[in-house]
Each structure stands twice: as C-alpha cells, then as structure tokens.
Amino acid sequence: MDSLKVTGKILLDISKDPQHNSFKVDDEIITYTSLQDISPPLNPHQFDYRKYLEGLGINHQLRLSNDQFVLSKSSDATIFGIAASIRDQITNKLRQEAFGENELAIIQALLLGERNELTKAINTDYKDAGAFHILALSGLHVGIILGLLHFILSPLKFLPKGRIIKLATIVILLWGFAFLAGMSASILRAVTMFSFVAYALYLNRPTSHYNILALSLLFILLLFDPLLLFQVGFQLSYIAVFSILWIYPLLQNFWSPKNWILKRGWELLSVSIAAQLGVLPLSLYYFHQFPGLFFVSSLLILPFLAIILGMGILVITLALSNALPTFLVVIYDTTIRWMNTVIAWVAQQEGFIFRNISFDAVQLLLGYSIIISLISMLQKASFKRTTIFFITIICFQLWVLGVRYHGNKEEHIVVGHTGRNTTLLHQKGEKVMVYTNNWAHSERMATDYAVAKLTTKVAHQPLKNSFKIGTERVLVLDSSFASLPSNYNVGTILLTQSPKINLERLLDSVQPQIILADGSNYHSYIVRWKATCLKRKLPFHYTGEKGAYKFKIQ
C-alpha cells in the first residue's frame, strides 16, 4: 500500500457467484485496487458498523467483482486452514447420516463453532428465549467439557505422576477443541481461562477465582490482542463470569434447600440469575432488549447440556471412524429436535420479551453502580452502603427524567437514507411521525431513532408531496412529477424515486436554497444532479454520501 509492504485485516466484499466463488480458508486472493474507507452510519442513532469493525482491527474494505481478482490456492497451510479442513471432513461425514437439516446446523454450532447453517428462525428463537449463549461456543461449553474430562480422566491419578499426566491431557484436549472450533476469540478466551482452572484443580488447594480471571484476562489475552477489550463478546463474557463468581455464592447462602432436585434446580437458576444480572446493563446498552424468560430456558436446557455435548463428541468420533450406529443417530437427532422445540416454545411467549428499551452510556454506568451497590449492601448491610444504593437509584431516575424533559422540548425533521425508499421522520416531543410509502423498509430506521430519543409513540403515514417546516416549504418530487403549481415558493427540493426531470429547467422556475436526494434514486441521476448543482453553486445533499439531512426548526 503506497509502495509499502503492510499486513492487517480488511473487509472483503465480492459479488456472489456460485459458479466461481468457492473460497476456502488459506486461499489467496490477488488483486490490484485501492483500499476504501468503511462508511460511517448514514442515519441518526444507527448501529455504527465502522466503530464495530475498528474494535476488530479492521479499518478498510475492498469491493471486488469476479473479474477483478485472481484466486490462488495456497500450498502453505495455516493452523486455521488445517482446522477448517478437519471441520469440513466432520461435516461431510455427518451429512451422510440421517440428521435433519436444522438438527445438523445445531450440531455444527454446538461442537464445531460454525453457525453459518443456522436459519434465521432458529437464530431468532434462541435470542428471544435468552439462550443464544448455548449456540455460541464460549466458557459455558468449555467449562462443561472440562468437567467431563476431569471426571473421565480421574483414574489417571492412580498412576505414577498421574496427576501431571491428567493435567497435561486435559489442557491438550481443551486446546485441541479450540483448534477444531476455529480458534475464534470467544473460544480462545474460554480455553485460556479454563486452562488456569485446570491447573487450580491440579494444585487441589484453595485458589482465588478472581486471580484466575485476571491472569487469563490481563496477562494472556490482552497481551496478545489489546483490541479484545473493545469487543462486545469479550466484555459480556468476562462480566458474566465475574458476576457468577461474585453473586452466585451470595444466592447459595441466601437459600440452600435440602431436597436434591430443588438444590440442583436452585444452583442452575442462581448461575443464570448471576450471569444475567451482570450482563443486563451491557445487553440493554448494545441490544436494547432483554429476554424475561431466560431462567425457563436455563432450567429446561442447561441440566441436559453436558449430556448433549458428551453425546455430540461421541457421535463425531464414531462418524469419523465409520462406526456410528443408526440408533445413536436417531437418539441424538431427537434430542436436538426436542431442544429446538423447547426453545421455540419459550421464544413464543412474546409478553416476556422486552424490546426497544432506551439505554445510553450514562445509564450503563449508573446501572452498574446500582448493581454493585446492591450486592455490596446485601453482603454486609450498613447505613453507608444502603445510602449509596439509594443515591445511585435516585441519580438514575433523575437522568431519565432529564433526558425525557429535554426530548419533550425538541422538534426535528430528518430525511433518512433507506435503499429504494424514502423516509421522513418528524419528531415533536414524545411523538415520532414517519412519512413513507413502504413502512417495512423504514421501520428499522424509525425504531432506532425512537429508542435513542426515549420516545414511545411512533406512527406512520404515506409520503406527501409538500411539507411546511416553520416558514419554509419542502417540495418532494418523485417519479409522478408533472409540473409545479404556479406561484410556488420553495426553500428545499427533495428528489425521490428517480423523477424524470430537467433539473436546470426546474431551477430556472424556482430558486430553492438546497437540493436533497435520498437513497431511492438511480446513481446515474445523482451524478447528473450533483453536476448541475455544482455548476449553479447550489448546495446539493445526497444521503448516500453525507448521511441523513436534519432540518433545523426554530
């Protein structure tokens, strides 16, 4: 790049062509082109994909057509390529068995870390049920596998130096699982941490779990990749583990039933409550929703997850050795189908899924202040700790009231950027009116805006051809445009749906202050209109380049 040899990560976008695009890990793509900056969000309060990619160490992108590159099959295999090849071999073996399509996709996600085959419906069900962590390979799976290995390899301790052999075997198998799962960031985090846990089990003496967490976090993972600290998955993972270590013992001290079934059920529920309480503010901040029935899916699935993972490992081992019996395929397929059915049932309880919750950075900090002060007060009640807890609650309430009071005094009109569609948002106080002819294409933008503005009333109407904003009139010209009414004073012209107009002739009859064009227009029209406005020294705003246009209302 600029005559310098560089390395790094880029986002590659290639037109999909099943006849030519059959990429595999370790393939080399050779091209001569220019790197492009990643576009910022074009609409207000839209998910900032550029910022997300920066957290992954990606700052540029390439867009290539199929005639702009040469595909080279690399002879130098990397560890990622070898792992992908083994996963492909396992998947091909499993496809030869009588697994259902959805069940096979779940097996790939659970044991191989590949979620590409999951359907949109399954993804949505697991998210709404608060059980998506079951599909995303993480500390939960590695912890269960560590427990299984610790139990299965217990006889080794009777051999000379058996405890050292057991430790080495467990660590090797854990990292072998990480290798098989593609060495993703979540798996590396989990295997690193549980390698230290395995060492603590080998020492067989009291060890601080917080020391293990800090050692795996600070001295290992962040040493190799400091950018992990800014990744959502990394933050959620470690906060969940920290919360379990901190809050779970308090819940067990609060109630310890004598009945074995109640005791195990309370343990599982305590783990879920501790983890969900810890990630609650982050989940609301990033995703603006919370599954109210997470404890139901945890109680119904987590007790059997060790069996499901253990059976899965056995199924893969037997499939690779061509010794997988049919009855085991039927049993495992039925088990996975039962799990999907339970999750789908939980996800259908719409009344317990809280969506579109407004939650900003200040609320995130105050939310964690409330949780920390609450747990501190429950650990050891005192006047000082109780006072701090109530002060944090009052601060949280005052901030929400302040934001809403400020929002009630605002009035904005925004011309958004939506592909092949026109969207105008008019916010006045707590109400947002959306003007569009295709609500399905505008709903996402309107929802993001309403959530960020703490508004609860969102309505939509068909797009009008004329708007009056203060003393200024906005004229909307679409493909049905014929002619302007006489004596029409226009301050702004919005071009939508690629109207067949001669802009120069139009500008001879009206003298607008600015020309707007949104994402519903052909790109060739945009280029022509932009050149016309440049020639006349008239401001031109295309939402696809400059983002949404916001009218200032006095």
**Residue 69 reports pLDDT greater than 70:** yes
Element (H, E) at 68: none
**Residue 207 reports pLDDT greater than 60:** no
Q: With bands split at pLDDT 50, 70 and 90, how would you rate the model's confidence at 381?
A: confident
Q: What percent of the chain has pLDDT over 90?
A: 29
Arithmetic mean of pLDDT, 112-136? 86
Position 236 scores a pLDDT of 84
Q: With bands split at pLDDT 50, 70 and 90, how would you rate the model's confidence at 75?
A: confident
Q: With bands split at pLDDT 50, 70 and 90, how would you rate the model's confidence at 464?
A: confident
**Residue 515 reports pLDDT greater than 80:** yes
Q: Give the model confidence (pLDDT) of 29-52 as tens digits.
A: 999 988 999 989 999 988 889 988
Among 35-44, 346-355, 371-380, 495-504, where is mean pLDDT lowest?
A: 346-355
Position 144 scores a pLDDT of 85
Alpha-carbon Rg for the chain in angstroms: 29
Q: pTM, whole model, 2 decimals?
A: 0.81
Higher pLDDT pick, 524 / 80: 524
- Residue 298 Cα to chain centre, angstroms: 21
Which among 344, 348, 337, 347 is positioned nearest to 105, based on CA atoms? 337
Mean pLDDT, the chain, integer = 85
Select, from the ranges 188-192, 413-417, 550-554, the one with the highest average predicted confidence (pLDDT): 413-417
Position 547 scores a pLDDT of 92
**Residue 297 reports pLDDT greater than 70:** yes
Arithmetic mean of pLDDT, 479-494? 74
Q: With bands split at pLDDT 50, 70 and 90, how would you rate the model's confidence at 538?
A: very high
DSSP strand E in 143-298: where? 290-291
**Residue 350 reports pLDDT greater than 90:** no
Arithmetic mean of pLDDT, 330-346? 92
Give the integer Cα–Cα distance in Å for 47 and 136. 22
Position 535 scores a pLDDT of 92
Helix axes 185-203, 232-254, angle to 10 degrees: 40
Arithmetic mean of pLDDT, 368-375? 94
Which among 219, 103, 204 is positioned nearest to 162, based on CA atoms? 204
Q: Give the model confidence (pLDDT) of 303-312 as tens digits.
A: 888 889 889 9
Among 185-199, 355-369, 516-530, where is mean pLDDT lowest?
A: 185-199
Arithmetic mean of pLDDT, 64-69? 87
Arithmetic mean of pLDDT, 87-111? 90
**Residue 225 reports pLDDT greater than 80:** no
Arithmetic mean of pLDDT, 224-246? 81
Higher pLDDT pick, 197 / 551: 551
Give the integer Cα–Cα distance in Å for 389 and 375. 9
Q: With bands split at pLDDT 50, 70 and 90, how would you rate the model's confidence at 488?
A: low
Tallying the residues shown for the chain, one arrives at: 554
Q: With bands split at pLDDT 50, 70 and 90, how would you rate the model's confidence at 216?
A: low
Position 263 scores a pLDDT of 84
Q: Which residues of 425-458 are buried (b: 16+ CB within 10 A; e: fewer)?
A: bbbeeeebbbbbbbeebbbebbbbbbbbbbbeeb
Higher pLDDT pick, 289 / 221: 289
Contact of 438 with 455, CB cutoff 8 Å: no
Position 392 scores a pLDDT of 96
Position 531 scores a pLDDT of 94
Higher pLDDT pick, 202 / 530: 530
Local structure of residue 421 (DSSP, 8 states): B
DSSP 273-331: HHHHHHHHHHHHHHH--EETTHHHHHHHHHHHHHHHHHHHHHHHHHHHTT---HHHHHH
Arithmetic mean of pLDDT, 437-441? 90
Arithmetic mean of pLDDT, 65-69? 87
Position 213 scores a pLDDT of 58
**Residue 298 reports pLDDT greater than 60:** yes
**Residue 260 reports pLDDT greater than 90:** no
Position 204 scores a pLDDT of 65
